[in-house]
Structure 1
Amino acid sequence: MGAPIFIIFVSSLLVTGFAAKLPKNWTECKVDETMNDCLKGAIQHALNEMIGGTPSLGILPLDPLRFDSITIDQGTGPVSIKLDFSDLDVFGVKDMNILSVDNDWKTMVIETQSPKIELRGDYKIAGQILVLPIQGNGKCVLTMDNFLGHLKFHYQEKTAGSKVYYNINKLDFIFDVDKLTMQFDNLFNGDKALGDNMNKFLNENWKEILNELKPNVARTFAAAFKEIGNRLFTKVPKNNITPA
């Protein structure tokens, strides 16, 4: 549920690591006392510019942002479910605001806010939510109002051959929303009465459900961000990101 935050990380790498190849109207941020303020504006600008895609950089449109698959597997507690998403499109990245950036290349913290994030795709679910069993598969829509994201990257240097690269050895992800609205089609093998009642129950109890799932959801997306981030870092030597 926190997928859009990764775009900010990609943007920061582009702004600081590939300045020579960026469009001329993009900002290059120097490593000095003004870097964090510069990055905040530069990442916001880069994000806005990349929403429709940037062919020269090989970047596809970012709104919607596509995830091929995401799995939330929570086996114990009041909410014990396995929820698989596939072909998941995330809308709302175009309205994302960068609140702050704090980066010293040992850690980088990015705070973001979006008025609304909407996830649309296919789902498969089985398990129990609070006191009720749930199962189904089909289309789903999840809408999060006033999405706030906090992402903290912990770095170390890694040597490969004659070059030194940055490596993310830990990633912390926290998010919050003012409201979560859920619609799962085809619950209980298409039983409309059961499905309607379950969707009503989910939305009446969204806060308790989300609080139960938050740690698992955050870990799932953090692992994805870490893997993709390190894939990017292996292509960019340290001295191209933070020149001496």
Structure 2
Amino acid sequence: MKIVSGLVYAVFAIASAASIKLPKGFIQCKKSDPKFDECIKNALQSSVPQLIKGVPSLGLITSDPYRIASLNIEQGIGPVSVNMNFTDLIVSNMKYTIIDSAHYDPKSYRLNVETHVPNSLLMEGDYEVNGKVLILPIVGKGRCKFIIDVLKFTGNVEMKPVFRKEQMYLEVANLTWTFIPINFHVQLDNLFNGNKALGDHMNVFLNENWREVLSELQPAIEEVFGALFTSIGQQFLNRVPENQIFLD
């Protein structure tokens, strides 16, 4: 599978941006705290509504809804063999994220997080598709809507220290974001050049076989969420020194 995406948010902010203290409302955690991980979990949970809404002092704008300028999925082999292009894709309902657990190792700079979103995640935008799904050909261009219900998200973040003006900051070196789905609903408008009968049949077919369809699309969707959290996280980390986030 080849996935190419263009996101409206830059993943990395300008490295020379002036540092600031942790904004009011964010929780600082002491590395020596025996309940350090619990503090990290609470800190992340309390930061969700602020980061989603946007923090002007950090250069963060609202990220729910989150707009993806373009996303291309090229799946050449397997039961789902398609070329799908999405534009102006809007992702919403991430603001309902609940942090279930968190672990941070200050020595290796690794963060592991498990979350869930009780509300359905929505992805809406424009699409164009050409290829084959299971045994049926598919072609179309128009509006699309995906509704995803997720049991659990798992995020693994590898960071590294960087130094600017004698202060240490953290930089995201690698981030993976995976999820376990429990339901997936697809609506693709204007399939088969507007042939309503064929289009309705294909949408029913896609939803009856959602597990097989999603198994092929999931890496692209996970990349979208990974890019979203990398963007928000790195923008935050670029402006706030490590010693303002974690206390000795």
Corresponding residue pairs, total: 226
CA RMSD of aligned residues (A): 2.8
Q: Confirm whether residue 195 of structure 1 aligns to residue 199 of structure 2.
A: yes
Structure 1 Cα separation of the partners of residues 94 and 30 of structure 2:
26
Q: Which moved more, 1:26-35 or 1:231-240?
A: 231-240
**Higher mean C-alpha displacement, 131-140 vs 59-68:** 59-68
Counting helix residues as a fraction of each chain, which structure ranks higher? Answer: 1
Specify whether residues 41 and 178 from structure 1 end up closer, same or farther in structure 2 by C-alpha distance, changes over 3 A only.
same
User: Residue 73 of structure 1 contacts residue 216 of structure 1 at CA under 8 Å; is this kept in 2?
Assistant: no
1:178 corresponding residue in structure 2: 182
2:176 alignment partner, SS class: strand
> Where do residues 143-154 of structure 1 align in structure 2 (5 Å cutoff)?
143-154=147-158
Paired with 2:44 and 2:167, the residues of 1 have a C-alpha distance of: 27
CA–CA distance in structure 2, aligned partners of residues 135 and 82 of structure 1: 10
Does residue 107 (structure 1) correspond to residue 96 (structure 2)? The answer is no
In the aligned structure 2, how far is the partner of 1:173 from the partner of 1:26? Answer: 23
**Pair 1:208-2:221 in alignment:** no
- The percent of aligned pairs where both chains have the same amino acid is 37
Instruction: Output the TM-score relative to the length of structure 1.
Output: 0.78
Residue identity in the other structure for 2:102: V
Distance 2:178 2:114 in 1: 10
Match of 2:27 in 1: 27
- The one of the two structures with greater contact order (alpha-carbon pairs below 8 A, sep at least 6) is 2
In the aligned structure 2, how far is the partner of 1:156 from the partner of 1:52?
27
1:1-244 paired onto structure 2 within 5 Å: 20-23=21-24, 25-32=25-32, 33-105=34-106, 106-115=109-118, 116-158=120-162, 164-219=168-223, 221-222=225-226, 226=230, 229=233, 233-242=237-246
SS in structure 2 of the partner of residue 146 of structure 1: strand
8 A Cα contact 1:111 1:148, kept in partner:
yes
- 2:4 matched to which residue of 1? none
> Can you give the 5+ residue segments of structure 1 that lack an aligned partner in the other structure?
1-16
Unaligned ranges ≥5, structure 2: 1-18
Q: Any conservation in 2 of the 1:43–1:98 contact (CA below 8 Å)?
A: yes
Partner of 1:9: none
* TM-score relative to the length of structure 2: 0.77
* Alignment partners' CA distance in 1, 2:226 and 2:102: 18
**Which digits, 9 at most, give the CA deviation of each residue in 1:126-153, with x for residues without a partner?**
2211111112121111101235211101
Amino acid at match of 1:113: H
1-structure distance, mates of 2:187, 2:97: 23
Matches of 1:157 and 1:21 in 2, distance apart? 18
